[in-house]
Structure 1
Amino acid sequence: MFLFLVVAMVVVVAAVTLVVVGGGDGAGGALPEAAPEQLVDPLPVTRPVGRADLEALRLPMALRGYRMGAVDDVLGRLGAELAERDARIAELEAALAGVQAGTVGGAGLFGDAAFEDAPASDASDDGPRS
């Protein structure tokens, strides 16, 4: 019985070895080389990045996670766009604060003149004329 198990084990190991070494697909060739995975759909260059762009983005995988170069490129682009948007928001907020300050400070100048130029209504009128 022991001899039968040893022979069976040798046959199985030999068959597995032949399949692995020989290719096992009948073509007699090895597996084709896989092309390295690249970032297929990069972020748009001609317009700002939107939410849909980030949702559709698929980073290429490496042996242990994502490819560092692709991740660095995406994070660098997003960081630059966020900094640009923050600067634009600060610029618009400063402009808005200037306009609001001018409106509050100049309200007395223009508001009083509008009432002085308006014709005075006759206080003796009791109501509409028929």
Structure 2
Amino acid sequence: MTLVLLYLVVLVLVGIVLFAVGSVLFGRGEVLPPLPQGTTATVLPASGVTGADVDAVKFTQTLRGYKTGEVDWVLDRLGREIDSLRGELDAVRAAHGVEDASLGDAQGAHALPPEYARDDT
């Protein structure tokens, strides 16, 4: 029994020595500083957001999903971009005297294309 205990102690000591040598030789590598509080690695361009930009958005995962602050930021940013684009579109339509077809149409902009429309005849 003493021999087994001696082998176990020697094995633990060898493990400690190997770990110490590996730590000295390889170190911990380059340590990156943490992001400042209140910032995120989630990015979107300042204007002209495209579908590819939205597809490239990555959120930091937390224990219960994604960081709500990052998701809220992206949604707010996309909302402002959509509002800006709709404002520009309205200005162009007004400048050219084009009436918004979806306002006068009873079905509105959410109507299905004709190829998907249901034929009840």
TM-score by length of structure 2 reads 0.46
- Between structure 1 and structure 2, the one with the greater Rg is 1
